[in-house]
Amino acid sequence: MERSTPTASRPLAYGRGLRALSIATVIAVTLALALVFFYAPLEEEQGFLQKIFYVHVPLATIALCGFVLGGLLAIQYLRTRDARWDMRSYVVIHMSLIFALGTLVTGSIWAKGSWGHWWVWSEPTLVSFLIIFLLYATYQPLRFAIEDPERQARYASVFAITAGAFVPLNYLAVNETTAYLHPRVFSSTSNLPASMAFTLLVSLVAMALLFATLCKYELTAKHARAQVRALRRRLAGEAPSTGARSRSAAPALHHVGSAPAAGRSGA
Amino acid sequence: MAPAPLATLPALPLHTAGKYVAGAYIVLFALVLVYVSIMAIRMSRIERELGELLDVQAARERADEHTLDQREATPAYPVKGRP
């Protein structure tokens, strides 16, 4: 029997570049925190409380971009039927949901400091973000409800595309609504003083790097687990795709080998 | 009651605003910490499973060696003087 080369048996190395990405993230987050607390000036109206802006806005931006990215990756899955695109879409949406939770909590803290209320139902930005969060909170139960991996991936992709299209539409709709002022420090980021704009930009980059690193960790862990399972089946003398799969919301990667070569790009 | 527009609210003094700012940054830190902890648990599970598989492989290799030794000790052709 011919022994397959390592690259052929392991089609995708999710862990590639993880170390460099992690180091870049640590440096960027440290720099962002230093800029927030030692460089950016105190805002005139809100004072020290405005420092929440540098964590809340990047969290929200990255979470919303992540939801849209999840939809784009789902389109790629439907085009190629390569399980790895479904896995990427799943991980990106999963991570965006965590970031969205962080946005809601930090926003709530900011609202309490600014307005004296933890939550204001008449504020369209808050409520619309909560709607998006709750919409994506149904993504995992939807996946879990479907046992067949192929159907699960297909239905989840359709959900991700539909919900991903809803996110920018919702953002535009809320921007048109100006019944109340969201605790925006400035009406638009173009009004920011240069020092604040630079700090916000670095915070955004740091948050994006953190998002990318956590996604890559998750993908690497899931891929490693799938490989261990495949190895277990091989040692047990089973066919690669016949192993019993317990019901899970996470995509199945055991049919990776049957995926088209076109999808074999880096994570 | 509808909240007052932000522009009319005075800036909070540092001792009051500090706890909110600290709270917001602690939330981010806690989220990352919880995530890293979950990842650590998953990694240790993978490591354990991999160890089990290595044990299975080692046991299989030992069994193969044992079978090979037995075959070498038992010649396939008849030896002179033996029935």
Residue that wins the pLDDT comparison between B3 and A198: A198
**Rounded-to-integer distance, Cα A21 and Cα A149, Å:** 31
Most confident of A207-211, B47-51, B59-63: A207-211
The minimal CB distance from A235 to the residues B3, B6, B56 is found for B56
Tell me which of A102-111, A214-223, A249-258 is least confident: A249-258
The minimal CB distance from A47 to the residues B11, B23, B43 is found for B11
pLDDT at A30 over 50: yes
Q: CB of B79 within 8 Å of any CB in chain A?
A: no
Interchain contact, A120 vs B23, CB within 8 Å: no
Backbone angles phi, psi at B12, to 5 degrees: -75, 140
- The chain B residue lying nearest A50, using CA atoms, is B21
The minimal CB distance from B20 to the residues A113, A120, A214 is found for A113
At residue A186, the pLDDT reads 53
| Nearest alpha carbon to residue A160 among A249, A210, A99, A86 | A86
**What ipTM did this prediction achieve?**
0.75
Confidence of residue A241 (pLDDT cuts 50, 70, 90): low
Chain A CB contacts of B7 under 8 Å are 45, 181
What are the pLDDT digits (tens) for A122-157? 888 888 999 999 999 999 999 999 888 899 999 999
pLDDT at A267 over 50: no
Instruction: Tell me what the mean pLDDT of segment A256-263 comes to.
Output: 41
Burial of B7 (0-12, 13-18, 19+ CB in 10 A): exposed
Optimal mutation site among A106, A117, A217, interface B, most CBs of chain B within 10 A: A106
Instruction: Tell me what the mean pLDDT of segment A34-49 comes to.
Output: 87
Shortest alpha-carbon distance between residue A231 and chain B (Å) = 8
Residue that wins the pLDDT comparison between B81 and A229: A229
Confidence of residue B10 (pLDDT cuts 50, 70, 90): low
Q: CB of B2 within 8 Å of any CB in chain A?
A: yes
Optimal mutation site among B8, B21, B49, interface A, most CBs of chain A within 10 A: B21
At residue A97, the pLDDT reads 95
Instruction: Tell me what the mean pLDDT of segment A57-84 comes to.
Output: 94
Confidence of residue B9 (pLDDT cuts 50, 70, 90): low
Optimal mutation site among A109, A112, A220, interface B, most CBs of chain B within 10 A: A109
Backbone angles phi, psi at A181, to 5 degrees: -90, 125
Interchain contact, A101 vs B3, CB within 8 Å: no
- The chain B residue lying nearest A121, using CA atoms, is B2
Q: CB of B38 within 8 Å of any CB in chain A?
A: no
What is the torsion angle, in degrees rounded to the nearest 10, for the CA atoms of residue A142, residue A146, residue A150 and residue A154? -30
Are A228 and B46 contacting, i.e. CB atoms less than 8 angstroms apart? yes
Chain A CB contacts of B6 under 8 Å are 45-46, 114-115, 181, 183-184
pLDDT at A23 over 80: yes
Confidence of residue A62 (pLDDT cuts 50, 70, 90): very high
Which residues lie below 8 Å from residue A111, measured CB to CB, with a gap of 6+? A117, A118, A119, A120, A123, A126, A183
Number of other CB atoms surrounding residue A262 within 10 Å? 9
At residue A98, the pLDDT reads 95
Interchain contact, B11 vs A46, CB within 8 Å: yes
| Nearest alpha carbon to residue B39 among A140, A77, A252, A98 | A98
* Domain map (residue ranges) of chain B: 34-70
Scored b (16 or more CB within 10 A) or e, A137-169 reads eebbeebeebeebeebbbebbebbbebbebbee
Interchain contact, A47 vs B14, CB within 8 Å: yes
